[in-house]
Amino acid sequence: EVQLVESGGGSVQPGGSLRLSCAASGFTFSNTWMHWVRQAPGKGLVWVARIKGDGSSTNYVDSVKGRFTISRDNAKNTVYLQMNSLRAEDTAVYYCGRDLHIAAASPWGQGTLVTVSS
C-alpha cells in the first residue's frame, strides 16, 4: 500500500524557518516525481513545488521562489520542503503527493499545518 506521511509543521514567527518532511512507502520512491501543495484557511489548493526522482530537476510556484527549497533523500524515501523567510500568507496545510503524470498525483498525505504568526 502506498503511504505518505507529512511531519514538521508548527507555529513560527514571520521571517522564521521550518522544514517539512514527507515519508513515503509502498512504491519505488527514487523513480517518482513528488509534489507539495498547500491550502490556506478558507482558500483553494495551490501547488507549491515538485522534484524529480533523482533530485536533478525542481519547479516552484512564483510566490515561494527564492524562499522554499524542495529536496529529497532517496535512501530514506523522504521528500523535504525547507521554508525560509516565512510570511503570514504561507499559513496553510501542506500536503505531499506522489506524481502519476505531470499534474496528476496520487495519493496525497493527510497534511501538516504551518502557522506563521507573531
Question: Which stretches of the chain bind other proteins, using CB under 8 A?
Answer: 35, 37, 39, 44-47, 50, 59-62, 93, 95, 97, 100-111
Sheet holding 18-25, edge to edge: 3-7, 18-25, 78-83, 68-73
Shortest distance (Å) from residue 15 CB to other proteins: 25
Distance CA 69, CA 45 (A): 19
Shortest distance (Å) from residue 115 CB to other proteins: 14
Shortest distance (Å) from residue 84 CB to other proteins: 20
Shortest distance (Å) from residue 36 CB to other proteins: 10
Neighbours of 74 (CB within 10 A): 16
Residue number with CB closer to other proteins (29 or 33):
33
- Cα 34 to its chain centre, rounded Å, is 8
Residue number with CB closer to other proteins (40 or 84):
40
Close Cβ partners of 1 (under 8 Å, ≥ 6 residues apart)? 26
